[in-house]
Structure 1
């Protein structure tokens, strides 16, 4: 185990082929950013196509959920693996492999004859997406230095934000005009274009004994452990958090990850250098995207439902309102990069982003049935800034803390925590909101007579389908039930917002403590 991670200013040079000469830097940046654009577009845009997929090839509720979950699980489980492998076998080589894997998975998705094939293909695409993010970030960290590195990572964050923002819109247009299959076909075509630039990035392998040093046992333990944990999180709500299957998933995950830590502590060339996890400042920066997952990603996922159910907006208008949340994600990274280039301490920008998350979430307590968009515009913009200002900047600052020969591994850790925390945050949010809507909805209906099935009314409201809930209530109770269910959902949403703000505040406190203990970036 190396001690370089705890030494400020430590720097290990990469082999010459991993660093592009200046004339090629822009081409390398363009290739990486083009691939990075596609991955979040695939994540945010696929959900729009689920109704069309269901009507075409069926699959039921579970099958439709795994169109999204298979990608996310595969992405989260293999991000660290790809990052560590890239340090051994070459970042350009592994980046190209990831782009090819993503292209194959997307092409298979476009041609899928049934839901099972589509779910598997999405898992393959997620495997490639993990390589694109981990290896792409490591490539930028190695190719660029100083202000150029700040600019590169600012563009990295901006591009990811553009992908998140444009995914639903572009997917919706394709579904309306050509069906759901072209969504994945277009993604495959873009990645083929990226592969054409692979020679510019470089495909040489940095070491001749990389295969001998590959930690197969550690890889298997890590992937299975993360998969068990993520599967438990994803299925916690539909199966029940105390169900035997979910509990068994968490127990198995704990056993596998403990075994992984023991194996890695004895390896001379581990898949994960455990000293990274003891590097206080590095871990502090890794927690920033975790805070953004709770303060921003949850809103991006569920606030449109609130706007439609409580505020009575159409899906189209709700989509336009969400633009206020996503615009800062597009421009924020560039603003942060320019601020740091101008001499502002990166930590100041990060603290501003964390504060924006807290005040943005709390500001949305103003949202309600009769609230004007102008009233919630500032809180939405604040929450978006909380995500946008730290995106990209955190990656660059975190990777600058470690030796260059571990940049891939470090990028894998950052993105594993980012993707893993998103899954956890969304699952926790869904469970909390559903539980609160259920308890408050049942209490509200206790004194109402003539309802067909109060439990079904509440369950449909909790899932966001007020129309179906009122159909179940029946015409006699419809007018009386509607305001009660809207009030229950609105109240539950407000309580959940407070919990999110508390979580982000707590994470900010942990980040502050860790930052005081760790060495600064080189």
Structure 2
């Protein structure tokens, strides 16, 4: 498969030499490394954050959700802004915002402060991913671009893989605040490299067009409404006026967004991009990964600590079985493509791994040995890793280089937007099913009451505090009941995730049918 773009690309930077390109790639990859490391590492720290701040399930969920929602809201905006003002300026602004937000998170005194800093960090992370991918697409071409995007996927996978273990070690050794302090230090190094990046990127003055403020605002409002509806569904009730109103508002705002974008000379999203079904199909691959992999990345650590009794360090080490393939598989996929394996074949294999892996993860139980669940975790991780980076490069080959920032922004909007939605859906579904289990069984334990509050606390992974809150006479027996209820809810939600992945795989297969990515036929 050819790695050349199908449209005229910006001139590759040859006059600056390999040194300038290498420095640019290193700076972009370090920033890209921090973002997924932050997501996976924060998940491991959640139980300690909850215990330290005495946070309920809702505010605790928003430690993860605030980052993902902000990332989803602003990735598309940053991609469009980068094409207008310059990709290096937008990238540097995002790195600076992320560094400041991470420092604020390390100094947070309560969970609401932490939620706010995580939202700000998500805004910066959106610029890093969308502008970083656009910078790589601008600086490199041909086989060098393919190798650069393979590194992009590998480094993102490394962030995912190392995040849980590093966070577990930091939480046990120094406290959860250092999880965020490390991110700030890494982004400081990236900011020091920005002048070198600016020299390496050719003609990065931007188009000079005006930012689509109205379209950007409408898109952000739509994403906030949608994710808030999903997050609050389990607490307000899925049929409550508040949740139904949020969903209805999402539809109305998205319709207004489409109408505005069709009339803009420089829209935040050129809707003509969506007419290429193969581009859309490739952009949906990360959506399947969000439901099949990212949900496990976020909530499996809580299952390991709450149900199986592992501490944070042990949970982080166990998570390496899930995350290690994300580190190794992008480079493997790039090597297979260079040896003639069709990229779309690897995409389909990755999707199959997600479905099979999620189904096999139902082998998890309170007493399951690590060896029993090792293969399902590795297969699920491979489902994420085989398409990471590969999808980005293939999708951007289909797009006019002048719209590379916008296209990368759209791809990463679907990636992180779907992660926000998938994580919110998982959390709400788990809380809903767990509440049902607790309400059905709480009457069998003397003194136990407050089923709703107990279920909310248990869903956050703190079973010991939930048992104390219940007032049960025999707290140890009630804690075992909660562990069994959590285990049952976990398995129910897993079946649902596998079904969602299977449906997405079918849609993607239809969209990608009929020609290789990168062709214009």
Q: What TM-score results when the alignment is normalised by the length of structure 2? A: 0.88
**What's the CA shift string for 1:108-142, capped at 9, x where partnerless?**
43455665554433332221111000010111122
**What's the CA shift string for 1:29-48, capped at 9, x where partnerless?**
10100111112222233345
**What's the CA shift string for 1:30-85, capped at 9, x where partnerless?**
01001111122222333455566667777766555444333222211000011112
Q: Which of 211, 214, 235 lines up with 2:211 in the alignment?
A: 214
- Provide the residue aligned with 2:35 in structure 1: 39
Is 1:143 aligned to residue 139 of structure 2?
yes
The answer to whether the 8 Å contact 1:281/1:514 transfers is yes
Cα offset, 1:503, TM superposition: 1.2
The answer to whether the 8 Å contact 1:73/1:231 transfers is no
Cα offset, 1:293, TM superposition: 0.9
Q: Which of 180, 186, 189 lines up with 1:190 in the alignment?
A: 186
Distance 1:46-1:377 versus aligned 2 partners, 3 A rule: closer
- Provide the residue aligned with 2:502 in structure 1: 505
Please identify, of 40-49 and 124-133, the stretch whose mean Cα deviation from structure 2 is larger. Answer: 40-49
- Provide the residue aligned with 2:289 in structure 1: 292
Structure 1 unaligned spans of 5+ = 1-7
Q: Which of 388, 399, 416 lines up with 2:396 in the alignment?
A: 399
Instruction: List aligned pairs for 1:332-343, cutoff 5 A.
Output: 332-343=329-340
Return the alpha-carbon distance in structure 2 between the equivalents of residues 105 and 496 of structure 1: 33
- Provide the residue aligned with 1:5 in structure 2: none
Return the alpha-carbon distance in structure 2 between the equivalents of residues 42 and 66 of structure 1: 14
Instruction: List aligned pairs for 1:238-257, cutoff 5 A.
Output: 238-257=235-254
The answer to whether the 8 Å contact 1:45/1:169 transfers is yes
Please identify, of 15-24 and 266-275, the stretch whose mean Cα deviation from structure 2 is larger. Answer: 15-24
User: Secondary structure of the equivalent of 1:41?
Assistant: helix
Return the alpha-carbon distance in structure 2 between the equivalents of residues 395 and 74 of structure 1: 21
Cα offset, 1:336, TM superposition: 0.9
Return the alpha-carbon distance in structure 2 between the equivalents of residues 53 and 470 of structure 1: 19
Is 1:277 aligned to residue 274 of structure 2?
yes
Return the alpha-carbon distance in structure 2 between the equivalents of residues 310 and 375 of structure 1: 16
Question: What CA RMSD, in Å, does the superposition of the two structures yield over aligned residues?
Answer: 3.1
Distance 1:369-1:254 versus aligned 2 partners, 3 A rule: same
User: Secondary structure of the equivalent of 2:99?
Assistant: helix
Cα offset, 1:302, TM superposition: 2.2
Cα offset, 1:486, TM superposition: 4.5
The answer to whether the 8 Å contact 2:63/2:118 transfers is yes
Structure 2 unaligned spans of 5+ = none
How many pairs does the alignment contain? Answer: 513
Q: What TM-score results when the alignment is normalised by the length of structure 1? A: 0.88
Distance 1:123-1:484 versus aligned 2 partners, 3 A rule: closer
- Provide the residue aligned with 2:407 in structure 1: 410
Please identify, of 93-102 and 32-41, the stretch whose mean Cα deviation from structure 2 is larger. Answer: 93-102
- Provide the residue aligned with 2:426 in structure 1: 429
Q: Which of 347, 352, 355 lines up with 1:350 in the alignment?
A: 347
Q: Which of 316, 319, 323 lines up with 1:322 in the alignment?
A: 319
The answer to whether the 8 Å contact 1:234/1:423 transfers is no
The answer to whether the 8 Å contact 1:292/1:386 transfers is yes
Distance 1:90-1:14 versus aligned 2 partners, 3 A rule: farther
- Provide the residue aligned with 1:95 in structure 2: 91
- Provide the residue aligned with 1:419 in structure 2: 416
